[in-house]
Structure 1
Amino acid sequence: MKRMALVMIVSLLFISVIPASNKQSYQISHFVPADEDFSHLTPRLAVIITNDSDFVSEGFSGSGTEGDPFRLEAVRILSDEASINISNTRSHFVIENVLVYPGSSGSVFGIVLENVTSGTFTNMSVYNHYRGIELHNSSDIIFDDIVFKINADTCFYADDCNFISFKYCKFEDNDATFLHINDVDHSVMTYNWFNATNTETGLELYKIANFTFSYNDLNRYSGTGSANLGLYESSNCTISHNSFYGANLGIGETNYDDIFIISNEFINGQISIFGGEIVTVTDNQFTNGGFYFQGETAESWHHDLSSNMIEGKPVGYLWDTTNTSVDLSSFSQIIFAGCNNVTGYDAAPTTSLDGIIIGFCNATTIQDSTIDGQSLGIHIRSSNYTTIENCEAQDSSRGVFAYDTKYLTINASDIHDNWGMGIAIRSSEFFLIDNSSISDNDIGILVGAPGSENCSRGQIKRSSIFSNNDPLDDVGYGVYVMNSNHIRVDQCNISYHDYAGMYISMSNWSSSVYTRYLYNDGFGIAIESGYDNYFYGNILGWNELGNAIDNGTSNDWNDVSIGNRWRDHNPLDSQYNVTGTGDGIDYYPQAWDYDLIYPPNDATHPQIQSLSMYVYTVGTTGHMLVWEVSDEYPFSYHIMMGGVWLEGGEWDGDDIEFSVAGFGVGNYTCTLTLTDLAGNSAQSSFLVSVVPVSAPPPESPFEPLY
């Protein structure tokens, strides 16, 4: 999935009646599609009824009883005001086979009902109004076979109504919100067709009770419009057997009980649950979609999710699960909610939305998993002591996203080729990123965000951070610390970034120690703003715009007696002056040492001694192997086994000892990649065969299964 984001926006705002001043200023052109012929309908003036006796004076037939309702049919009404305006009636009436459209000076409303009961509108066309139909304080109204076209703000608006039936209606070519319904009880909407082209929002349902929405089609086949359905502060609602194509269903954060979402089909769509009490979500089918969770309380994550499928694979939902390990390999999407001390392993989600979602959990561990092509690879919210270990995350908007967490650990993982951030952490404390590789993302690691979403007391240690650059904006950052405090980078290798290896903005008391900043196209370290940050023991060289720039205040560039190694430092000078307005000075610059830093003219690739095929029996332990390697200026290594990250980190030049134990029966390709300080790299692979107990040895060569 390339730069695809399905983001559900639930916009559930109360829309009041348009004031008179807006009515006067709003102009709309007289328009009925030329390919539609309404010449058979008799033209007439607007219908204005203020009490039951007006039905007769307005030319309705019938007596107004249930068996003989007042009836108006086969007319077309062109009006500069509301084409049909009915108020304060209790008679039964039917309006059938009618076109309403604006006059030359424009019309704000097509049909307006105020304090009306027992009306039926059928086989009608409502064209080119600001609001097509508007209802207030009305009940027992039926809308059947209504076509809404080219309306500008809202096709259908209802407030404080009861027993509204809406079926076989069609919405197309509107710039308007399809439906805005507020404070409506006992209503049914079935077999309607909503086609979004330029609609800003889709269906907004606010304070709804005893409501059925079934067998409807919500489509966004083309254009930029929205066919999303948002349900907010509602109860006793059933949404079932609908088709969502390019459309989403959102459940707002203050919904009440008895919300049922059953047997809907989503193609390029999702169900977003922002809160509410227990929502029952069963037997829904997704193609290129799934679930999105963002509740702000633990209770808002507790729902009845079962038998939902994404492209034929089940959605895994774990609520209040404790003290167990779970094989995640069969799930298309995995949601942990309110869990404690749970380990999940071998996940390979297929959803285009968030692959693994963790909310309000404690001590959750994700191991040995591959995240590929999700919106957020691993999404963690309001959870503590979460561990991501030996995982790979790629081709997502964020490989790992954490919000409101404590004691998050990301260890021995490969986060690469994500089209947003490799790792994004907001409003979190005490996190650790250790012994991991973060490369080829738009931004490597983003800590913090504007406003109050700051982080504190986080560490990034012993990790390789390479080539994180946004190809569209031509900027790149290895570690970006924003609006956060006490963030420490320690013993990392950070290279090949378009703007800065480490960038600090509005952040204080943060540090970088014993880290290599080499060959960044911008700066090694850049401080936009911040104070009392400190740096020592770092190696900074061959950074094109400068090894460091300090535009902050009172930042320290040395410890008590240890400074940094600067490629451009003159050893005859007793101090090193850092570029920028912050007057940064390293009072103890250390000597440049070519034994520690790779010379710029070295083009020699690392050397790797090839290994032969290795065979072992499943379930046995040990299986330690040694890769003989060498390079004059070693930098980093990583090992992949069957396409899964095995181990990696900083390479000191010694031979690499590793274990291939723990795999199931099968044939695996094991690949070592070495990189030196110049960016020269080398790669070598061999085959590992894990055989069943008492199985004969395989013939060589053979084709790997992975």
Structure 2
Amino acid sequence: VYAICLIDSSQNELSNNDCISGSMDGIAVLGLSEANDLLNNTCSSNLGFGVYVNGTGSNNIEDGVYSYNMYGIYLDLTFSNVISSCTCEFNDIGIMIMNDYEGAFNELIDNDCSHNLDQGIVLVESHENILDNNYCMDNGAGIYISQALSNDMMNNTCIVNALYGIYMVEGYYSWLSDNNCSDNPNGIWIEHSNSVTAQYNELTDCTTGITVIDSSSVTLSDNICTENDIGVSMTGAPYGQVLNSNCSGNAQYGVYLNAATNTRIENCMISDNSIAGVYIVNTDDGRLFLNSIVENWYGVFIESGTYNVLSENEIKDNTDTGVHIDSAPVDSYLFYNIFTGNFRNALDDGITSLIRYNYWSNYTGVDADSNGIGDTPHNITGAASNADPYPLVYLPGTPVFVLEPTDQIVEFGDDFIYDLDATSSSPLKEWRIDDTVHFSISNEGVITNIVSLDLEMYEPGEYPIQVTVENIYNFTTTRTFTVFCADTVFPIVIGPADYSYVEGTTGHTLRWNATDLTLESYYIDVYRQDGYRLRSYIGEFNSTSGFIEVSTDGLAAGTYNFTIIVQDRAYNHGFDYVIITVTEPGGPHYTIPLEAFLLGIGAITVSLIVVILFVVFKRRSP
């Protein structure tokens, strides 16, 4: 019955086998057969399946040819299997996975499932699978998904199929991302499904790029739906979203909504569609926001529905009408849209449409009080005899920063000044800043500190800022950044010149003057000529400047190095050294060559700084 069969057998390798023209299946893996590797086998022209896996998991099917069977590869009641780099062509179905109610976790990667009679890949009642980078061409449907949860389909190529690129029915919580579903009658078809996201897919040369029907909460984001008959069609699909997508160059509509209540279309390019950029019928509470709707026959055509809102759209250069409100729609709302270059900017035959605060390129009134709103209404063509009573004389839109605000660093003790610049199609009205305890902002966008900025303990001070710019139409842009107050200046230490005195005499002192805005402490070490540390002094400052005085009396004849290191609150260090020579009474100077002594002292100083840095590191460590 089977050319090769594993029953309750695990961790086997089946490789390079030819299982051809069998009366049932080429290879069967049954029962508790787990962690088997099926590598580079040829299972073709069998009356059953090329490979049949039932009731088991964690098997790996890699490479090989599985063609001219009923199913190329069939997984039934399985979990955690990997099918990769397999060729499954000229079967009824290329790869079939079904009946996995608890979560299948199978992975299908880099397979070629083309030229099959029905579907390239099928998932039925199989959940949490990953389909990545599979090639499904010239099937009935490239990928078919039914009654399945939480499946991820990404980077698949499903082209030139007879009916569908990807077909999903009763699919839930699934992702379709970065797939190419071009040149099919239906690129992606989503039916009776819920909470599905399709993003970054390419759909061209289809009858309909993406179809959503009788489904809820479907999000279509960043898709390319161009050169089809219809870019996106949503029918009986409430709470859907079409976001950041290109729906252009289609023979009928860019986006078609029919009974798609509470659907949102936002930030899309909808251009060069032969009938309408957006066509709305039987749809309530639709939202069109921030779209560019240009060079269509109709920009937006509202055939029927209530409470549909168009706001902040650019509606430009449409051949017939920018927005057409037919006789049936009720309570359509148009706010802050830009109408330019259309043969007719708007036509309103509807019922109680509310049209306010739009920019009309053919408005002929004036703005004598310079408030940005025309002094006379703008009349709207159509049976409704409507008008926009508050036509805008500037283009609406949000301000834009010329340079994006970035985090800033100010030196401790310095004044902070940051000049922001923003542009807007309408005059700017106001700048605002949230931290009014430390900063102020002028009408020109210049931020200055109003109190001295301080440091944190041993760290730069941090001042988060939120700044907002607003134009006369109350559009705002907000950015956040942080001002860091840092101390990068080293303390200045000024000491006396080297000097000498006669052993046994008294009244000899060293005096240094240290200055810094954040003086903290000092360290003085006295070294003999042989490098031995003779004395140490440690002290602290309580002001921004101070004198440090030490006595040099009582030294025996010889040469000594007095080295001082001054530290501020930011761990910056300044240092100085003075060479003291003590001579015997009535005798010669007791010295060693100065060059050799300084060389030794230099090494000692480096060692001291390393020790200080180590201490700093320990203090900063949590």
Short-chain TM bin:
0.3 to 0.5
Tell which structure's C-alpha radius of gyration is larger: 2
Q: TM-score, structure 2 length as denominator?
A: 0.43
TM-score normalised by structure 1 residue count: 0.39
